[in-house]
Structure 1
Amino acid sequence: SVRTAIGSIVGPVELFSDDVRSAVVMGIETETLLDTKTDRSWRKRLTNFLGHTGLFLLLIAYTVFGGLVFKALEHPTEVATLKEHDARVKQHRAVFLERVSRSRRASEQEFLRLLEQQLNKYESAVQDAARGGLLVPITEGRQPADLARWNNLQAIFFASTVLTTIGYGNIVPVTTGGRTFCLLYALIGIPLCVSVIADLGSLVANRFTGLPSWLEKVSTTVKSLLSALVALLLLLLYISVGALLFMILEGEWSFFESFYFCFITMTTIGFGDLVPQKPEYMLLCTVYILIGLGMTSTIIEIVRNEYAKSWKRIQALAEALRKLAEAGGSATEIASLQNEFIQRITMTDSNKSPKQWENAVDTIVRNMSKPKLKEPKIVQIIIYETSV
């Protein structure tokens, strides 16, 4: 312990003076306090890390749980529907071939009528099968169960789109049990997802608090604009990296299509016209979307604040100019007051609340509307000296 350590060290120095022994003891106690503070700092960092990571892992676990439940509820019904469509398409295909082969001896007009009739029935069956998810030609010999979209990874990806409210619409629950579970799942999971996104957003926002030393003397407005610009560039970089990743993984997407998908996803627009089709990387896609939503929400908030500040400045300037116009005076005086007001309003702090802005505007207008002291007239006396 500390006392044992102190005793072992103080024992040999008893030959020295009391001041020396006190200095040794104080040095050991100071070192012990520093070690304690270091331990507390590491514990605090570890606690914060576990807090952020734990919340994120909780969302991942909840997403996986929801995906597995969705699969258990929807997969059997989907497989049964696919088998029904498969049998119907094959039946109409066989009838079509049989009727065509029988009508060889019929007249040309009768043959065309029969051909069109059977072809319409077959096309209708194919369209119904396509709407039901049977998109692969029957001749490939794949079983309907292999074409089911409600597999484990697709179901987990669908659960993530429910929690993030993106909702591509490429896959939806059709059973009563699946829809009921979706309502309860979203009711609990969306607030959890919003909390995780806000937590990730706060981590991203903390990265914009520090500025380089050469920007310390820059005005507050310039700092805010630079922060917004850096945030936008970071978002574009993140989307570009994701676009490159999706272009490689999908294989059929161009870089522009991948970038378009990432942007539509990060802004939670979710048209559903482009959706990842490879289930192998759905978990990676889910993590990418969750992190990106945290970044996007924070960056959009930063840009929104800049828009709001600019709009407040414009409103304050317009109101001040209106008051100046109502104050009367010659055009030259009003122009002079306007120039003076613009110079003053741009020097004010951009972090003022709307009420503070209004009070500042009123104060500036009152100060500038006061009658100025008349300057004494200058009389010029010109003396001409001539030789006359």
Structure 2
Amino acid sequence: MFRQNKFFFPFLIVLLVIVLLCAIAFGAVAILPAHMFSALQHFLQGKGPANIYEGVFLQLRLPRVLLCAITGAILSVSGVLMQGLFRNPIVEPGLVGTSSGAALGASIVFVMAPQFSPAIKSLAGPLLMPIVAFFGALLATYAVYSLAKNAKRVSIMSLLLVGIAINAVCLSGMGFMSYIARDAQARSITFWNLGNFSGSTWQQVFIVGTVATIIFIVSLRYSKQLNALLLGEEEAIYLGVDPDKLKRRIMLLNTAMVAVATAFVGVITFVGLIVPHVLRLLIGSDNKRLLPASMLLGAILLTLADMFGRLILAPAEVPIGIITSLVGAPVFIILLKKFNLLQQKGGYNA
């Protein structure tokens, strides 16, 4: 529909700006455009917030909305990379262990950080949780891929089944961490596993944004190789692509950005599944267009979901993971039916 439409990307950019402004303006405390402008003006002049509205805008609402948009872009790009890597449109980080592995790593930090040596804490600093989450995500993703691989081919059914098993193992680990944790730590793990942007800070925006920007730029360099991989591994080799090397690099890139985002905002599922699938219907499967489009649309949809979660029970909040799962699960079922993975075959296959 929009494969050759030159206005598609400008439309997404304009829509993203509108959604970001609405997400900043609406909430338990309404922020008018005049408050935004004056707050930015005072900030550039080196002055503090002049009133509560400027304070909410600079210290709470703006970092939250920016972190939400960046996280949406990360999860969507991750979905594109994973689906291109496995050549299947129903793969996303939450289904292949990446998110749950990162969640387990972050849960370990929540509970065990007081026992870490001061040297480790001072060396890692604010990156302690992202680093542990990265290794947890990398280990879980590699385990799923290795166990699902058979005869140099990854079966999507094996991938889903192994992903379920690895997710269960990670959930068991998180359950154990919650069991041995203190009440405050257990409560933090519970809410964190539902996904939450309420504690967003400028430091988190800087860390996640920096990692995302670097990985986005690198990912775009692999768009042609991912396009070649869509033809099959043998055909990709004929076109000069090393599939094994490409898989290792894409898995590292994907794991790094998902782990960093998950470490700060918790587990948010199905965004990486919905956005790439919608965009393939609109603009096709060319990763050179699909990757940047997924950044924009992912940021738009997750920001909308977060705004909806803040408004539906204001001044209370609905965790964003609940909203994305509520919308994403039916879409996932539809995709499974579309690819005939829920059809019973009778006999021993029933």
TM-score range, shorter chain: under 0.3
The structure with the largest alpha-carbon Rg is: 1
* RCO comparison, higher one (Cα < 8 Å, 6+): 2
TM-score, normalised relative to structure 1: 0.22
TM-score, normalised relative to structure 2: 0.23
